[in-house]
Amino acid sequence: MAEPRQQILIVDDEPASRESLCELLTMEGYTATTAEDGLEALVRLTDSTFALIITELKMPRMDGMALLREIELRRLPSAVVVLTGRGSIETAVEAIRRDAFDYLTKPVDPQRLLQLIPKVLEAQRIRSALQTIRIPAADSEPRINRMVGRSPRMVEVFDLIERVAPARASVLITGESGTGKELVARAMHGLSPRSAHAFVSVNSAALPPDLLENELFGHERGAFTGAAIRKEGCFELAHQGTLFLDEVADMSLATQAKLLRVLEGHPYRRLGGTREITVDVRVVAATNRGIDRVLEEGRLRQDLYFRLSTVEIHLPPLRERGEDFALLVRAFLSESSRANGKPVSRIGPAAMDRLLRYPWPGNVRQLRNAIEHAVILSTGDTISVEDLPLGVREPGRAAGGSDGIYLHTIDEMERRLIAVALARFPTRTQAAEALGVSPRTLYNKIRRYALLARDGRADVTPPPSSETDVVREARRLDSLFRLA
């Protein structure tokens, strides 16, 4: 059952449709109010605040699009779902571009409507609660180089980068494709004493063995047919700097043996050369393959692995970085808007919902590309569902119909939000009022999220150490909704 606090305005010029929706929502426990067109709806909005407005698009006097524009101009804190006939889908899509949360075709499927409403109200409730807890202007987010994140695992990665960067030791970075392994390597180079010298990157999987050796060690003029000039290899180019070897487990075993000798300090020769070359290079390697598996299969030499992995850094996939998702989206949105000269600053609620539900098999790289795609296609200041890449905007195209990080993010946000409210307000009643729920609902959620200590009091361990920490945590949670 829904809570009586949740008020919904139904705007429809068809009396039968309007009254049937009102009856349905009232039976489900919502407080439903009706209006026969946009003008009457504006009168209702002057007198009351509604968490959700369900409006028909085609109406006399003031239609749904005009009402949507008024809601946007007045900055009313109401989510909007539009109703449309089967032949008016294009208009509904335009409504979503103007910040409607979603649309339903008429006649309305009661089950689909009842499944949609809690999701909309959940987002509205969290947003309103976060606005109640005063949030100051945002400070700079934790970042190294172009990497952002405040999840515990990424904070550990940042700390490790800062500690390892000044050393000469080789580093092995593991993680799925698209998690940012080269960014980590560049960050370490930038923080190291070698930063004034070259950072050279080689993708070991992109070249066949002979060409890869030529790329790494170079050749002399006349070493083979077509070698018209001498070529310095990447080791020479990276002298006193950093050499990044991506997908090192894809190297042939023969190339791995030659690489190991150089890492052990032995000189090498260019192909077709006689002069021995010694270089001072820090090697950072990376692989997206499971280390145990490639070692067991003999695809990566164990002695080379030990030489490369003096320090090993593992990057988590995006699906395990729920806390960082909004920060990444905001950073990519700002970056892409600036790079493409577009005034895009927001992501519509429906588009954000699609982003949260998508599983992101390509991780951070795929998210960055999707945001840039949307920014380029956007015609205003807000990204809509239609601006997103096809595979992201159509949930059926996502592998297995996964909910991506959506459910994890919403649950984690609600739990942390409750902890923030309990730390911020002296009584549970005040915390419940700030969150927009009844004391009983708050108590049930405290039990659900294991926030109850043995003595029966709310357990918010570890509590924020200061008022500043409280508002900082609230600001982190709010960042998801500043985008919407």
Task: Tell me the CA distances in angstroms from 176 to 37, 49, 302, 308, 357, one per residue in order.
Answer: 52, 46, 21, 18, 20
- From 49-53, 216-220, 388-392, 394-398, the region with the lowest mean pLDDT: 394-398
Q: What is the pLDDT of residue 315?
A: 96
**Predicted confidence (pLDDT) per residue in 116-148, tens digit:** 898 777 756 655 554 443 333 333 444 566 688
Angle (CA) 234 239 243, round 5°: 50
Give how far Cα 238 sits from Cα of 30, 162, 244, 276, Å: 66, 21, 9, 17
> Does residue 355 carry a pLDDT above 60?
yes
Q: How far, in Å, CA of 61 to CA of 37, rounded?
A: 7
Region of poorest pLDDT, from 30-39, 287-296, 400-409: 400-409
Query: What is the pairing mode between strands 231-232 and 218-219?
Result: antiparallel
Query: What is the pLDDT at residue 240?
Result: 94
Residue ranges and CATH numbers for the domains of the chain are 7-132 (3.40.50.2300), 152-315 (3.40.50.300), 320-484 (1.10.8.60)
pLDDT tens, 287-306? 999 999 999 999 999 999 99
Under 8 Å between Cβ of 284 and 171: yes
Q: What is the pLDDT of residue 482?
A: 45
How does strand 31-35 pair with strand 7-11?
parallel
User: Both tokens of residue 371?
Assistant: 């945001």
84 three-class SS: strand
Per-residue pLDDT at 144: 65
**Per-residue pLDDT, 285:** 97
Residue 460 clears pLDDT 50, i.e. is over it: no
Residue given tokens 């043996």 in the structure block: 257
In 3D, which of 190, 199, 197, 310 has the Cα closest to residue 244? 199
Average pLDDT in the chain: 81
| The pLDDT of residue 134 | 33
**Distances in whole angstroms, Cα of residue 164 to Cα of each of 155, 167, 187, 244, 313:** 14, 6, 11, 15, 10
Burial 184-220 (b: 16+ CB within 10 A, else e): bbbbbbebbebeebbbbbbebeebeeeebbbbbbbbb
